Amino acid sequence: MNAPNASGWRPALGEAGEAGAATASGDRGLHFEEPLIFELAEPGARMGVDLDAPSGDVMPSLARFRRQAIPALPGLTEPETVRHYTRLSRQNYAIDLGPFPLGSCTMKHNPRLNEKMARLPGFADIHPLQPQGTVQGALDAINQLATWLITLTGMHGVAMTPKAGAHGELCGLLCIKAAIAARGESRDVILVPESAHGTNPATAAFAGFRVESIPATADGRVDLGALRARLGPNVAGVMITNPNTCGLFERDMKAISDAVHAAGGYVYCDGANFNAVVGKVRPGDLGVDAMHINLHKTFSTPHGGGGPGSGPVVLSEALSPFGPLPFTVRTADGTIRLIEEEDAAGEHPQGFGRMAAFHGQMGMYTRALTYILSHGADGLRQVAEDAVLNANYVLRSLDDVLHAPFGAAGPCMHEALFSDDDLPDGMTTLDIAKGLIDEGFHPMTVYFPLVVHGAMLIEPTETESKAGLDRLICSLRSLAGRARAGDATLKSAPHFAPRRRLDETLAARKPRLTWQGEALPPQPPSLSEIGGS
């Protein structure tokens, strides 16, 4: 019998190097070798339904759109189609299968209650062009969420329309740009510390600013002296991530804000990691002028394919007058008004415009508000505390077998950072990550942040149990031991995934994005051959 790996899972027989013969089909039990849907198709015009030949004349105005030949799409029956996509779904990793230890991305569990609320007809079926009087409940929910975000951050206002984190960054910088213009000044430089998120300099450049980098200290935080030395009349502000991408809290945050304000600039905080301090720290108290909040990271709305996303931006009193339209206002009689372009001249004359055509993502707002109301202020504080506890448990459980570059600097925040510096020559972060796939886990974030060589960034989130973390830790300790022992099989991992290790350089430089096979007929039959006119 083949021995279990560190996580207790036994790999399938029939693999190269394992006992037993390979299967003729290439399948491994119920783990199928699934072809592309084009490879499953047979030549000809087979399809899952029978359609009568078209009759009658086509409207003259539509005649130019008539197909001259049937499209070269795969022909499959309904059972074949359903089985194909079901088998593909079994090859997906999901938060419902195990933890996503991705650092910085915060792949949180999405409570089913949130999904149930978002699917209520009054939220799921509304249209952005409905009269305001018919969507008062939805506007009230948006207004409640906005109030919570302002309260939790200690800020003055909030722009709800940005669709994601980077979109929120752009919103904050456009507010800063409008505020500087209103003062009659011309400032064109944004300072970005090395420990900030990678989107920050890209967003600043997109907004028309010149970007200058501020170095980090040996303990992974902003060099306050270097920042103060660079401030001047052409600096519009600083974009700082706190907690930063090294998983550390910027202890000098208030001093940084004071220095930037004294020089006439503004402070933008990347709030992607707000989930580490929600209920514990209010960014407004630290001098922050603008901060985006990733609702998926802090308030458990779907991430990525579960979107669309949402990245509200909270604003200080200095920047609130320059925020975008539209926004909600509760009137004296308790109704909610959506302040839009046509009625904003007297109420929001300095706003820089719009970030989007409509207000925002109702499904995300509903889920986030449900999450907040389910937890309350005390519960949200515990969310942050548990996330930080879990990350520190991972850090201290692995720092004797993996190099923790800032481990001596004290506790981390919500994510633990390691590097491959202590691994023997020839063994890299990529080998550990690929080996983790064989252990049944999604790999951690690799090679980010860039300030750490061979970075491995692990964020366990607050919902992972100690037993679940122990499984992950056990697997990582085993992989580190195999790497130190020079186990050559790590260099070719993963061995038990649907696909083996790719040539990542070739895949990036010469990607194959279209089907080039010959399973479909090279010349599809004409419409006349299948009964068309």
CA distance 471 to 477: 10
- Residue ending a domain, among 370, 394, 411, is 370
- Residue ending a domain, among 370, 385, 405, is 370
Strand partners, 315: 157, 290
Are 173 and 297 members of one domain? yes
- Residues in Cβ contact with 186 at an 8 Å cutoff, skipping those fewer than 6 apart: 180, 234
Which pLDDT score is estimated for 309?
A: 82
Whether residue 31 is predicted with pLDDT greater than 90 in this model: the reply is no
What's the CATH number where 216 sits?
3.40.640.10
Are 231 and 304 members of one domain? yes
Residue 467 lies in a domain: no
Contacts 24+ apart (CB under 8 A), 53-58: 53/530, 53/531, 53/532, 53/533, 54/532, 54/533
Q: Say if residue 35 is preceded by a cis peptide, omega within 30 of 0.
A: no
Are 184 and 301 members of one domain? yes
Sign of CA dihedral 120, 121, 126, 130: negative
Average pLDDT over all residues of the chain: 88
Residue 164 lies in a domain: yes
Are 159 and 87 members of one domain? no
Mean of pLDDT values over 29-37: 82
Mean of pLDDT values over 460-473: 95
The number of folded domains in the chain is 2
Q: Say if residue 326 is preceded by a cis peptide, omega within 30 of 0.
A: yes
Whether residue 344 is predicted with pLDDT greater than 70 in this model: the reply is no
Are 194 and 321 members of one domain? yes
Residue 128 lies in a domain: no
Which pLDDT score is estimated for 57?
A: 77
Strand partners, 268: 239, 290
The residue range of the domain holding 216 is 155-370
Which one is predicted more confidently, 491 or 57? 491
Nearest residue to 287 (alpha-carbon basis) of 310, 305, 269: 269
Question: By the 8 A CB rule, do 19 and 12 touch?
Answer: no
Are 302 and 215 members of one domain? yes
Are 177 and 75 members of one domain? no
Q: What are phi and psi of 25, to 5 degrees?
A: -80, -20
Whether residue 12 is predicted with pLDDT greater than 70 in this model: the reply is no
The CA-CA-CA angle for residues 375, 150, 246, to 5°, reads 75
Whether residue 354 is predicted with pLDDT greater than 60 in this model: the reply is yes
Are 198 and 337 members of one domain? yes
Which pLDDT score is estimated for 246?
A: 94
- Residue ending a domain, among 335, 370, 405, is 370
Whether residue 525 is predicted with pLDDT greater than 80 in this model: the reply is no
Kind plus residue range of the DSSP H or E element containing 236 = strand 235-241
**Reading across the β-sheet that carries 266-270, which strands appear in turn?**
157-159, 313-315, 290-292, 266-270, 235-241, 189-193, 210-214
Residue 180 pLDDT class (50, 70, 90 cuts): very high
The structure tokens 């949180």 sit at 108
Percent of the chain clearing pLDDT 70 (strictly above): 89
Residue 304 lies in a domain: yes
CA distance 464 to 415: 13
CA distance 239 to 193: 7
CA distance 15 to 22: 6
Which pLDDT score is estimated for 421?
A: 95
Which pLDDT score is estimated for 35?
A: 87
Residue 306 lies in a domain: yes
Are 167 and 269 members of one domain? yes
Residue 104 pLDDT class (50, 70, 90 cuts): confident
Are 207 and 327 members of one domain? yes
Residue 47 pLDDT class (50, 70, 90 cuts): low
CA distance 75 to 60: 30
Mean of pLDDT values over 365-377: 96
Residue 520 lies in a domain: yes
Global confidence as pTM: 0.87
- Residues in Cβ contact with 333 at an 8 Å cutoff, skipping those fewer than 6 apart: none
Residue 315 lies in a domain: yes
Are 68 and 209 members of one domain? no
Are 70 and 163 members of one domain? no
Whether residue 103 is predicted with pLDDT greater than 60 in this model: the reply is yes
CA atoms within 13 A on the CB side of 125: 4
Whether residue 345 is predicted with pLDDT greater than 90 in this model: the reply is no
pLDDT tens column, 378-405: 999 999 999 999 999 999 999 999 999 9
